[in-house]
Amino acid sequence: MQTAEDLGDNHRAFSGRDLRKTYVTGATEVHALRGVDFDIRKGEILVLLGPSGSGKSTWLNIVGGLDRPTAGTLHYADTELTALNERELTRFRRAQIGFIFQFYNLIPSLTAEENVRLVTDIAENPMEPEEALARVGLAERRHHFPAQLSGGEQQRVAVARAIAKQPGVLLCDEPTGALDSQTGVRVLETLEAANRELETTLLIITHNAGIAAMADRVFHFLDGQIARIESNSSKIKPAEISW
């Protein structure tokens, strides 16, 4: 495998070495990550596949600075995330990471634009909420409340909210898990556009193996390890995914 040194900080998004996570609940220990090594390039599209409980969400939460590993080192570019204190880690997360979850997490009493503005008001280098909503094809619906939007449209607002602060990385945990194929494709198109136009690194957890074909590489998780890394010689467009 290519090492972080080979990649160089200019091209490196993340590199992890021997990352481990053990959850202790009473007398029970769960080894969610058992020594994981990886390098991720800036601007890469990565899909994470693996059975339930194999450690994908644990890994994503650590990479996104929401959680810390029990052992091992993690870098983002030339910053060692595992050496940061809480405040520094929060600052990294706010500046660099956009999150998209299965269930949109929009605030029901705020319009689409207000939901996006919540993030842009505290970001360092945001785009206008209107531009973010235009990028996901929802400029005309910006004054609508979540309840007035379909599931796919709500997820596109969530994508707009995540890209509006212009993060280096988008972390997506089952972004199409609640959507039908047509709406799911539309959401994936907005993610792919962010990757292409804004050079955002995309990390996508999914149970839909068809989505792997739009990735540069696929990490296959098994029992708390990355059992296999697959490289795609060519990527397909979201519209070509067989669902």
Footprint of ligand ATP (CB under 6 A): 23, 25, 30, 32, 50, 52-58, 221
Tell me which residue of 54, 97, 52, 51 sits closest to 74, measured CA to CA: 97
The residue type found at 150 is S
Q: Which is nearer to ligand ATP, 132 or 218 (CB)?
A: 218
Task: Compute the least distance from the CB of residue 241 to ligand ATP, in Å.
Answer: 19
Q: Which is nearer to ligand ATP, 50 or 184 (CB)?
A: 50
Contacts of 211 (CB under 8 A, 6+ apart): 47, 176, 188, 204, 241
CA dist., res. 32 & res. 55, Å (int): 5
Overall size of the chain counted in residues: 243
Q: Which is nearer to ligand ATP, 54 or 115 (CB)?
A: 54
Q: Check: CB of residue 120 under 8 Å from CB of residue 193.
A: no
Q: Which is nearer to ligand ATP, 31 or 41 (CB)?
A: 31
Task: Compute the least distance from the CB of residue 57 to ligand ATP, in Å.
Answer: 3
Task: Compute the least distance from the CB of residue 29 to ligand ATP, in Å.
Answer: 9
Compute φ and ψ for 99, nearest 5 degrees: -110, 140
Task: Compute the least distance from the CB of residue 24 to ligand ATP, in Å.
Answer: 8
**How many helices and strands in the chain, by DSSP H and E?**
7, 10
Q: Which is nearer to ligand ATP, 69 or 129 (CB)?
A: 69
Task: Compute the least distance from the CB of residue 210 to ligand ATP, in Å.
Answer: 16
Tell me which residue of 171, 201, 184 sits closest to 242, measured CA to CA: 184
